[in-house]
Structures are given as C-alpha cells and as structure tokens.
Amino acid sequence: MKNILVNIISAFALLVMTLPVAATATEKASADTTKNLYQLPGNPFQALPAIVSRLFYVQRTPNANTIVYELNLDNNGQPDTDEPVHAYWIRYTEGGKKVDLNFIQRKFAYGLTSKSLGNGKYDIRFVSYKKFPLTLMKGADGKYHIFATIAQKQFIVNRVFVRIEGGSFWVPNVRFVEFKGTDPATGKEVTERFKP
C-alpha cells in the first residue's frame, strides 16, 4: 500500500511539473514575447539516437528522465487503432532503464489520446494539454510521423523540451515548451517555442 501511495504522489508531482502556472507581472512581461523565449537557455540534454519506431520524445528540466513515444503497429503493419502511439520512460537516473508509464502518468500527465481521422491519420493529444493538436500520418517519405503546426508552419515533431525555472515541486514555473522537428518540404531543422 505504501508503494502505491508513493507512486501516486510521484505521478501527481510529475503531472504538476508539466502544467503552466501563473507568473508574476515581471516574469509575464519578459516571458510572453517570442523574442524573449528564444533568449532563454535551451535543452541541456543530449538528443537520443534515431530509432525507426520512435516518433518523438519529451525531456524537461530539472530531470534527465525522458518520455519516448513510439509508433505502435498491429499485426498488419498499420497503426493499432486502440493505441497508435505507445509511451514509455527511459529513466537515466536509474541506469537508462525502460519503464512503461503507470496509470496516473498515462491518464493525467504524459499519456496521449487518439482519434482516427480515416486514411491512416490520427488526431493525437496530450492528456495534460488537449488544446494542442498533433497528427499521426504518413509523410512524403512513406513513413509515419507526428506532425504539428505552430505559427502556421507544419513540421514533423522529433523532440519536445519543457523548461521549468523555479516555482516549487508542486507548482513549477513552466517558462516555455520547445518543439524541434523537420520541415517536410525542405528537410531543414525547425525549432519553435511557446508559453503554454
């Protein structure tokens, strides 16, 4: 029972760490402009090596553990209709151990919802931030990718970084979310930041 309670408290703390909080007037004035967001330090963690089934991953300060999102195919080689994307941890603080998200993490923090749009496309959303749509679909290369649109630019999402500065364990100050990806038209790397 004690382990269950510790897991629930830990999962709740992780959820709270990813939620935006109200900033002071000074912080809000300096953090609300795109120019200022790009002046803040970026992701201190190394990029993960490429894996064919990985769609993207999420890293956040102050913890090096990473949440990985992989394509989940059925026996026919198509995205699984119930769970087209599977999420799990790489826990670098535990020797790089791969661990599935627990129930609380899947349902309230890092899990995804999916809705079929037909023709092999899926609307994908984070359970903790449903107003930001992602799309799972095949790209021009014939492979499945996660696509996002920020500032009217569509790109393939490769990695997401959440910058947390200050606040407390229960109420962190999320300064920005950074998406890194690839422009499908040019193949060039794209970086977009926004304050949730």
Q: What is the pLDDT along the chain (196 residues), one digit of tens a residue?
A: 444 333 433 443 444 344 333 334 344 444 445 455 555 556 555 555 556 589 999 998 888 899 999 999 999 989 999 999 999 999 988 988 999 999 988 998 889 999 999 999 999 999 988 999 999 999 999 999 999 998 788 999 999 998 888 876 556 688 999 999 999 999 999 999 988 8
Report d(CA 29, CA 52) in Å as an integer: 41
Q: How far apart are CA 24 and CA 29, in angstroms?
A: 9
The DSSP secondary-structure symbol of 47 reads P
With tokens 């109200």, the residue in question is 22
Distance CA 91, CA 162 (A): 17
Tracing tokens 């382990």 back to the chain, one arrives at 3
> What span, in angstroms and rounded, lies between the C-alpha atoms of 46 and 34?
24
Number of independent structural domains in the chain: 1
> Which residues have CB under 8 Å from 174's CB, separation 6+?
18, 19, 20, 21, 162, 163, 164, 195, 196
Question: Residues for the chain: how many in total?
Answer: 196
Structural domain that includes position 114: 2-194
